[in-house]
Amino acid sequence: MDVVLILLFVAVAGTYIWMPLARGVRKESDSLSLRLEEAGARKAAALGALVDIENERLIGKLSTRDFELLRDEYEADALAALRELDAIEQGAADDDELEAEIAAIRARMECPECGGLRVPGEACSKCGHES
């Protein structure tokens, strides 16, 4: 019984340790996809562990008490990963809105004559056009 619990914990811990090593060095621009990948892997590991402990309980290798303790832990892990996935996706949406706002401000600062940047309400420093 204890051996099964230890093996389950080792399998989950091994997944967390192996992922960054297998992934290698990544650029900063990949940080969003990296975070999505890691959260997805944590969710998959927790859900896989839930299936494993259910099977172990069904064949009698895991007591009901141990199963309930492990199930609570793995469900919490899966929910945390799902929340992180939602937060990452929401953050990406917030970034898109921010980028649109920045683009609108830049468009207002652009000179209609030459396309150079200017202070709104002042003459363009490149062509002298006044708005």
113 HSE (CA, 13 A, CB side): 10
DSSP 8-state secondary structure symbol assigned to residue 110:
B
Query: Could you read off the pLDDT of 11-61 as tens digits, one per residue?
Result: 777 777 776 767 665 554 467 778 888 989 999 999 999 999 999 999 999
C-beta of residue 1 within 8 angstroms of C-beta of residue 63: yes
DSSP 8-state secondary structure symbol assigned to residue 31:
H
Query: Could you read off the pLDDT of 96-130 as tens digits, one per residue?
Result: 777 777 777 777 778 778 777 777 677 777 777 77
Residue with tokens 């914990």: 9
pTM of the entire structure? Answer: 0.51
Domain chopping of the chain, boundaries: 2-23+30-109
